[in-house]
Structure formats: structure tokens, C-alpha cells
Amino acid sequence: MLLSEYRRKRSFTKTPEPKGRVRKSGKKLEFVIQKHQASSLHYDFRLELDGVLKSWAVPKGPSLNPDIKRLAMQVEDHPYDYRKFEGLIPKGNYGAGNVIIWDRGWYEPYENDGAADEVLKAGLKKGELKFMMHGEKLKGSFALVKTPRMGKNAWLLIKHKDEYANQKDITKQEKSVVSGHILDEPPNELSVPMAGIPRKVKPMLATLTSEPFDDPDWLYEIKWDGYRAIGAWDGQQAELYSRNG
């Protein structure tokens, strides 16, 4: 999947989500899991690979119990910059709702017998991706296994038996690993970044005419003496400016 699909679904003047970029992979491949209250609660499981974040929506969240297999629906690739996104996607936008960074860290192939990204890309193409997670909450060996009988983009997220496997419900650890917030708490900042102070918008200029007229496309007001000015606030400073600056 390409970032064109991600960008097609979003209007970046209305959502704080990053437009993003494709990047060259670093020495360690990162992952992020975002808890997302959209039309339904789910966990967005994202693995850096091939310069983007390969992404799956996991409705019930990850499990540390090897006997429990979680449905994971593959969705469009997300930009690498999305790994740092936490906030509110405003109503009317795709995926509207609160998002927190539930877990983050780095990961590597379970069997590292070659270049990590090539091994992982081969596993993704095969439909059986095995990897070791080094996160703040999730650790140890996991697998994503494609299951076409459950749907075109259906996979299963499975915990392997290892020292980190247990019966505890890891989703009970609700706080963001970045802000310490839980999903139901409102974000500290406005969800849509403020634009800079506009310079192309000018106050209305009165127009002289020889006689009064009536037109449904016009609005009328008294021309008081003084200055017409526009007030603007960019989140840091306020400014008033007239037609002359």
C-alpha cells in the first residue's frame, strides 16, 4: 500500500495528522501502537518497514497469552512521522476521535539471517511475519499471520511462548507511554494547528456610488469614522492591522 491512499483519505488543513514522508530505514526499525477511539475502539499496530509504517487495526488490542489470537486488519500504509502522533482527530475527518501512543519501541526479525528489512519484507509478502518486539509494554516474540478466509486484509496477531508470555491483560495498562494520559482525557492542546497570521485578507473598503441601490449579493453598513482593522491570533501573539498595514 502507498502513502497516496493515506493522503487521499485526509484533508491536512482540517486534521493535525502529519502529511508525512517516506524515509530511509535506520539501524533500528521502530514500531508504535496507538490506541484509537474512532467509530469503534481499536489499537493501531504499526511497524516501520520500507520507509513507511505498515499498519493493522487490532480491535481487541494485543495479548500476551499465546493461546489468544487477535484479529488484525491491514490498512493503508502510514507515514513514518505518524509514529509520534497523539491527539484529537476532529469530527468530520477520517478516523475522527482521540489517539494516544499506547506503546512504542523497536523491533527486529525473529530469525535474523540477513538484512533485517529484507527478511521482514519477505515475511510480509509470504503472509507470515515473525519478529521480536522491544517496547515499553510489549516485549518478546510475536507473529502476524495472514488469514484470507477471514477477509482479504485479515491477519492474526499472535504472541509466541517465551519469557514474556503470560495470562495478564496487557490492555489494562491504559496510559500513554508519552503523555501519561488515558484515552478518555481531553488533549492539552487544540487538535488542529493554528495557521500563521493572514496577510492577504484586508478590511472592507467603502465604495462611493451616485445613488442608493438594492442587490441581494451586497450587505450594507454605516461607514463610521476611524480605522477598519482585522484582529488575528496565531497561538502566541495578537496583532491588529488595517488596509495600510
Active site residues: 223
What is the four-CA torsion angle of 122, 124, 128, 134, rounded to 10 degrees? 100
How far apart, in whole angstroms, are the C-alpha atoms of residue 12 and residue 80? 16
Residues in the chain: 245
Q: In which residue are the cell numbers 500563521 written?
A: 196
Of the chain, the end-to-end C-alpha distance in Å amounts to 48
How far apart, in whole angstroms, are the C-alpha atoms of residue 83 and residue 167? 28
**E-assigned strand segments in 40-96:** 41-49, 52-58, 69-79, 87-89
Burial 39-61, CB ≥16 within 10 A → b, else e: eeebbbbbbbbeebbbbbbbeeb
Which CA distances in Å does 6 have to 19, 109, 146?
9, 26, 22
Under 8 Å between Cβ of 78 and 52:
yes
